[in-house]
A and B are shown apart, each in its own frame.
Chain A
Amino acid sequence: DAKTTQPTSMDCAEGRAANLPCNHSTISGNEYVYWYRQIHSQGPQYIIHGLKNNETNEMASLIITEDRKSSTLILPHATLRDTAVYYCIVSYNTDKLIFGTGTRLQVFP
Chain B
Amino acid sequence: EAQVTQNPRYLITVTGKKLTVTCSQNMNHEYMSWYRQDPGLGLRQIYYSMNVEVTDKGDVPEGYKVSRKEKRNFPLILESPSPNQTSLYFCASNTGTGEAFFGQGTRLTVV
Contact = CB atoms under 8 A, between A and B. Distances in A.
Given A44-B43, A96-B45, A32 B97 contact: yes
A95 B102 contact: no
Interface of A: 32, 36, 41-46, 49, 93-102
B101 A96 contact: no
A46 B97 CA distance: 12
A36 B35 CA distance: 15
Given A96-B48, A96-B58, A44 B90 contact: yes
Interface string B94-111: 111111111111010000
A95 B92 CA distance: 9
11 contacts: A32-B97, A43-B103, A44-B102, A46-B100, A46-B101, A94-B96, A94-B97, A99-B42, A100-B42, A101-B42, A102-B42
Interface in B32-63: 33, 35, 37, 40, 42-45, 48, 50, 58
Contacts of B77: none
Nearest to A36: B100
Contacts of B74: none
A95 B37 CA distance: 17
Interface string B2-37: 001000000000000000000000000001010101
Contacts of A97: 33, 43, 45, 92, 100
